Every structure is written in structure tokens, then in C-alpha cells.
């Protein structure tokens, strides 16, 4: 049984993750409503993007300086 799940995971990882994500969003929609679910999904995407940049060894400060306006950062000089 363990080998079956490992093979399914290896061959259909994207489909499985997409199905789980869709199921999770559906439950979230039923529990909190459309707009709140949309906000949560947006925050998840932001977290994914930042986590991806950290995995790629890109300094978080560099990522944030590209995304956020200059007045969010103090001038340390």
C-alpha cells in the first residue's frame, strides 16, 4: 500500500496537490465566504512567493525592496 501511494505521488504530484488545494479552498469558501476565502488565498500565494525566494537563497530584504515602495524602509545612513 505504501508503494502504491509513493508511485501515485511520484507520477501525479501536481494533480494530487491541485485536488487537495481545490478541496481546501472549497471548504474555506463554505466556512467563511467568498471574499474572505479570496483574501486567504492571496496571502497563501504571497507566502509561497516569499518562501520560493528564500529557497532560491535570495535575500528577503532584496525581494521586499523590489516589491514595497521606498518609504517602507528606514534610511540607515
Q: How far is CA 71 from CA 46, 68, 74, 75, in A?
A: 20, 8, 7, 9
Alpha-carbon span 69 to 77, nearest angstrom: 18
> Per-residue pLDDT tens for 37-62?
889 888 888 888 888 888 888 887 88
Residue 42 near residue 35, CB atoms below 8 Å: no
Buried b (16+ CB within 10 A) or exposed e, 11-24: eeeeeeeeeeeeee
Q: Kindly indicate the confidence band of residue 76, based on its pLDDT and cuts at 50, 70 and 90.
A: low
pTM of the predicted protein model: 0.56
Q: What residue ranges do the domains of the chain occupy?
A: 1-32, 33-77
Amino acid at each position: 500500500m505504501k508503494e502504491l501511494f509513493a508511485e501515485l505521488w511520484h507520477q501525479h504530484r501536481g494533480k494530487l496537490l491541485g485536488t487537495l488545494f481545490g478541496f481546501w479552498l472549497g471548504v474555506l469558501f463554505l466556512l467563511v465566504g467568498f471574499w474572505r476565502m479570496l483574501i486567504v488565498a492571496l496571502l497563501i500565494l504571497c507566502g509561497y512567493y516569499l518562501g520560493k525566494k528564500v529557497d532560491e537563497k535570495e535575500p528577503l530584504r532584496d525581494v521586499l525592496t523590489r516589491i514595497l515602495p521606498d518609504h517602507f524602509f528606514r534610511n540607515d545612513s
